[in-house]
Amino acid sequence: MNGHYTEIQLSQKSSEFSDFVEKFNAMSKQLSETTVSRNQLQRIVAERTEALRLISNTDPLTNIANRRFLYEKGEIELTRNQRYNTSLALLMIDCDFFKKVNDTYGHLIGDKVLQHLCRTFEKVIRSIDFLARYGGEEFVILLPNSNQVGAIEMAKRIQQTLKNSPLVVDELSLSVTISIGIAITDDPSTTFEGLLDEADHALFLAKKNGRDRFEIA
């Protein structure tokens, strides 16, 4: 089958997604120029669909899950939690004094701070945990099969690892702290929005009580 194809053009330059877009456009060109079998066509369509799904679910700056994917994953984990009568913990994390970082060092350093936070989180969390950018300088980590003790231990490990790993950019070494709100549920009537609200309230208390700490809903 021969025909025309349209390339995807990113509205903003993004090194994180450039590879995906290049592959997508290459597959589109191949599809338009080549006579392919049904199996080849199905494979190409599947690859294009997966590439688009990844783009739509990923935050382009930090290369972690975005808010949209967080809600999707959160509903899945909450349903699993209720079905198997296990506990689910949620950490809501805020970068302390992030506005001051932007005002003092500029938005480029601010972006690097957010990326540094995510790489630090990824070093600490388990393979079954789920990290997402909630918005701005806020992040959420879902901890399946975790009770209050496990959630507190994770919060402490994240904060300690961050303290031991300052962001280094050229000659600048920047120590960043975070505040964490913790919410845990084993209640089958709990909604994901409700769990987020509880964690958000705990985060508010952590910031109100001095920052660089965690509070439990």
- Other CB atoms within 10 A of residue 9 CB: 7
Residues 209, 143 share a domain: yes
Domain shared by 108 and 211, yes or no: yes
CA–CA separation, 3 and 17 (whole Å): 26
CA distance 62 to 77: 23
The answer to the question of residue 10 being in a domain is: no
One domain for residues 207 and 150: yes
Question: Does 134 lie in the same domain as 34?
Answer: no
pLDDT value, residue 160: 97
Yes or no: say if 117 and 95 are a contact pair by the CB < 8 Å rule.
yes
Q: What is the predicted pLDDT for the residue at 46? A: 72
Say yes or no: 127 and 40 in one domain.
no
Are residues 137 and 194 both part of a single domain? yes
Task: Report the distance separating Cα 190 and Cα 95, nearest Å.
Answer: 27
62 within some domain: no
* pLDDT attached to residue 88: 96
- Give the domain CATH number at 103: 3.30.70.270
pLDDT value, residue 42: 75
Residue 187, in any domain of the structure: yes
Expressed as residue numbers, the domain containing 149 is 67-216
- pLDDT given for residue 176 in this prediction: 96
Count of structural domains, the chain:
2
pLDDT of the chain, 217 residues: tens digit per residue: 444 556 656 555 555 567 667 777 777 776 666 656 777 767 777 777 766 777 889 999 999 999 999 999 999 999 998 899 999 999 999 999 999 999 999 999 999 999 999 999 999 999 999 999 999 999 999 999 999 999 999 999 999 999 999 999 999 999 999 999 999 998 888 999 999 999 999 999 999 999 999 999 9
pLDDT of residue 2: 46
Rounded Cα distance between 96 and 199, Å, is 16
**Within 13 Å and on the Cβ side, how many CA atoms surround 143?**
26
Among all residues, which ones are annotated catalytic?
137
